[in-house]
């Protein structure tokens, strides 16, 4: 399938050398990747039921051996321009943590409320009817029953009271269950399961008192929670949203916090640690990621929000999925990594071997008599002079960049060095036949002479 929303300009600036891998999968879909990308963020491709491609509140589950055939799972909410009416939780899977798809049997959003409990037209909506919003998504896998537990918060305005309580639905790989009430109160639930004691732990932020209070609950079934306890955190800021994760090989629990003070949100992302499930949190003195440091060539961020993290097996890398709002109010969830330097966790540049590029967007048509063309949007069985071209290549028609193509077997690696100063959007590369000594891959490359 195409990879929507990820363009060449998300990775590099104009006139920068780069390497692209190009080929077709078994279904005939064109796939493109940037190779050996080094930077501090990678964009995600997520199907948005509302069509804005803006998301928030990601929660990530990873299993190396896979669940229902896939290693990565995500529960997240659309949040275009901070519009609460679109804030309804959606479920996705991925094979690389970057390109996401809707699972079988799922009709997103699944985070919809019980209409008998809330006024159906009071607050929020989804594509299939007006409902209160379902925000603050959180995902865990229940290995006891082989189902995902998809937590979210139903928010509603009843009179002058804002009511926000967690709910849960399960997913068994085929079917999403009806909504189940969870016996806890607050926003941003973070749930973990301790296999040793067969206990579910939930941390949740009660926003009724000022300042807000973190409570920890326990449960044996992930639905009926009790044993409510106050949990403190060491920052002079107050808690707003949080997420939790295990540190590998230890009893340590780590948390990602967004915080607020007397003057509003701090806008940065913070990391904290607790010695075990029942300990209080110590917040690292410096932010894990400052909002200004998260900005890149294509986005100037002004706010970071509830994020998700997973440690590498050795605990040396913290993989992060972070939502950021830019100066135009657009929310973008991006992938990045943090490492511990001199005892301090910090996000920095990293290198990924294969980063996906969009295959079809802003389609253009070009007639190309007696020229060789590589056009990643075409079907491998399409032959003729009407070529489908789009912006991924990023160079003006008629210009010949310095290009080297190499047959790598499963795909073709193409190194492109710009020779013009044109804008990267809405152009393509024209490659002469003399550069393409790869006749055995003629069809899979979709390289033809008209």
Of residues 384 and 262, the one with the higher pLDDT is: 262
Which tens digit of pLDDT belongs to each residue from 398-443? 444 445 556 555 545 555 444 443 333 333 333 333 333 333 333 2
Round to whole Å and give the CA distance between 92 and 104.
10
* Residue carrying structure tokens 């139903």: 154
pTM: 0.76
Supply 280's token pair.
Answer: 């209080």
Q: pLDDT at position 245, please?
A: 96
Q: Region 156-174: what's the mean pLDDT?
A: 81
Are 289 and 367 in the same domain? no
More confident: 218 or 418: 218
E strands along 79-184, which residues?
Answer: 90-94, 100-101, 133-142, 147-158, 161-171, 180-181
SS (H, E, C) 267-297: CCEEEEEECCCCCCEEECCCCCECHHHHCCC
* 261-284: average pLDDT: 92
Q: Are residues 270 and 379 in the same domain?
A: no
Residues 320, 190, single domain; the answer is yes
Provide the pLDDT confidence category of residue 383 given band limits of 50, 70 and 90.
very low
Plot region of 254 (φ>0 → left; ψ -120 to 50 → alpha; else → beta): beta
Find the range with the poorest average confidence among 171-185, 269-283, 416-430: 416-430
Q: Is residue 25 part of a domain?
A: no
What per-residue confidence (pLDDT) applies to 397? 37
Within-domain flag for 141: yes
CA–CA gap between residue 11 and residue 297 (Å, rounded): 8
**Contacts of residue 348, Cβ cutoff 8 Å, sequence gap at least 6:** 40, 337, 338, 339, 341
442: enclosing H helix or E strand = helix 442-445
CATH number at residue 201: 2.115.10.20
Going from the C-alpha of 197 to that of each of 55, 201, 277, 331, 376, the distances in angstroms are 35, 11, 11, 39, 52
Q: Could you tell me if 158 and 293 lie in one domain?
A: yes
Whether the predicted pLDDT of 19 surpasses 90 = no
Q: What is the dihedral of CA 100, 104, 105, 107, to 10 degrees?
A: 30
Residues 102 and 133 in one domain: yes
Residues 344 and 396 in one domain: no
Same domain, 301 and 411: no
Q: Is 435 helix (H, G, I), strand (E, B) or coil?
A: helix
Q: Which segment of 28-42, 117-131, 289-303 scores lowest on mean pLDDT?
A: 117-131
**393 with 304, same domain?**
no
* Count of domains observed in the chain: 2
Using CA atoms, how far apart are residues 126 and 183, in angstroms rounded to an integer?
A: 25
Which pair of structure tokens corresponds to residue 279? Answer: 């300990």
**Where is the domain boundary, 348, 373, 406?**
348
141 shares a domain with 61: yes
At 120 the pLDDT is: 43
Q: Answer whether residue 15 is part of any domain.
A: no
- Whole-angstrom CA distances from 229 to 85, 198, 251 are 32, 19, 19
Instruction: Provide the 8-state DSSP code for 61.
Output: E
H or E element in which residue 445 lies? helix 442-445
* Contacts for 153 with CB less than 8 Å, ≥ 6 apart: 134, 135, 136, 164, 165, 166, 167, 186, 187, 188, 189
Please state, rounded to an integer, the average pLDDT across all residues of the chain.
75
Same domain as 140, residue 49:
yes
Confidence of residue 98 (pLDDT cuts 50, 70, 90): confident
The answer on 308 and 435 residing in a single domain is no
Spatial separation of the C-alpha atoms in residues 433 and 83, rounded to whole Å: 50
The whole-angstrom separation of Cα 187 and Cα 172 is: 25
**Cα angle at 52 between 96 and 366, to 5 degrees?**
80
Q: Which of 348, 379, 394 is the last residue of a domain?
A: 348
Bigger pLDDT: 51 vs 78: 78
Torsion of CA 168, 170, 176, 181, to 10 degrees: -30
Q: Which two tokens stand for residue 122?
A: 């009071």
Contacts with 157 (C-beta within 8 Å, 6 or more apart), sequence order? 122, 123, 163
Alpha carbon separation from 414 to 11, 19, 34 (Å, rounded): 16, 6, 10
Of 88, 167, 79, nearest to 124 by C-alpha is 88
Residue tagged 């990643």 (tokens): 376
pLDDT in tens, 79-92: 999 988 888 999 99
Asked if 255 and 190 touch (Cβ cutoff 8 Å), the reply is yes
User: Is residue 445 pLDDT above 50, yes or no?
Assistant: no
Q: Which residue, of 318, 348, 378, is where some domain finishes?
A: 348
Rounded (5°) CA angle 27-31-35: 145
Stretch 280-299: mean pLDDT: 87
Looking at the DSSP bridge assignments, the partners of residue 21 are 33, 413
Is the domain of 335 the same as that of 380? no
87 lies in some domain:
yes
Residue 433, SS3 per DSSP = helix
Name the band, by pLDDT with cuts 50, 70 and 90, for residue 158: low
Q: Give the whole-angstrom CA distance, residue 166 versus residue 169.
A: 11
Identify whether 23 is part of a domain.
no
Range(s) of the domain holding residue 426: 357-449
Stretch 295-301: mean pLDDT, rounded? Answer: 73
């Amino acid at each position: 399938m195409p990879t929507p929303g990820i363009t060449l300009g998300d990775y590099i600036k104009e006139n920068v050398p780069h390497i692209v891998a190009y080929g077709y999968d078994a279904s005939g879909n064109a796939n493109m990747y940037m190779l050996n990308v080094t930077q501090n963020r990678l964009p995600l491709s997520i199907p948005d039921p509302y069509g804005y491609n803006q998301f928030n509140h990601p929660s990530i589950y990873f299993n190396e051996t896979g669940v229902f055939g896939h290693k990565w799972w995500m529960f997240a909410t659309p949040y275009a321009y901070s519009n609460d009416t679109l804030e309804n939780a959606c479920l996705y899977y991925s094979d690389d943590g970057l390109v996401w798809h809707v699972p079988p049997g799922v009709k997103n959003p699944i985070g919809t409320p019980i209409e008998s409990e809330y006024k159906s037209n009071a607050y929020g909506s989804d594509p299939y009817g007006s409902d209160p919003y379902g925000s603050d998504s959180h995902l865990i896998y229940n290995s006891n029953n082989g189902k995902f537990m998809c937590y979210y918060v139903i928010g509603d305005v009843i009179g002058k009271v804002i009511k926000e309580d967690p709910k849960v639905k399960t997913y068994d790989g085929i079917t999403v269950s009806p909504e189940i009430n969870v016996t806890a109160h607050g926003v941003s639930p973070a749930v973990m399961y301790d296999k040793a004691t067969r206990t579910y732990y939930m941390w949740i932020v009660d926003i009724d008192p000022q300042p807000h209070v973190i409570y920890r609950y326990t449960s044996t079934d992930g639905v009926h929670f009790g044993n409510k306890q106050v949990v403190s955190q060491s920052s002079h800021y107050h808690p707003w949203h949080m997420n939790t994760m295990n540190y590998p090989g230890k009893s340590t629990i780590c948390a990602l916090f967004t915080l607020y003070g007397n003057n509003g949100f701090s806008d940065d992302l913070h990391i904290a640690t607790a010695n075990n499930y029942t300990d209080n949190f110590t917040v690292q003195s410096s932010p894990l990621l400052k909002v200004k440091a998260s900005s890149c060539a294509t986005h100037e961020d002004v706010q970071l929000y509830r994020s998700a993290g997973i440690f590498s097996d050795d605990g040396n890398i913290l993989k992060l999925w972070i939502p950021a709002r830019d100066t135009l109010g657009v929310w973008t969830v991006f992938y990045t990594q943090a490492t511990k330097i001199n005892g301090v966790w910090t996000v920095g540049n990293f290198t990924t071997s294969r980063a996906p590029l969009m295959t079809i967007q802003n389609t253009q048509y070009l007639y190309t008599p007696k020229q060789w063309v590589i056009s990643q949007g075409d079907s491998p069985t399409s032959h003729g002079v009407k070529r489908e071209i789009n912006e991924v290549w990023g160079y003006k028609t008629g210009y010949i960049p310095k290009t080297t193509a190499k047959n790598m077997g499963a795909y073709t690696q193409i190194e492109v060095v710009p020779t013009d100063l044109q804008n990267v959007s809405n152009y393509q590369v024209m490659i002469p036949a003399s550069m393409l000594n790869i006749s055995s891959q003629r069809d899979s490359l979709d390289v033809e002479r008209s």
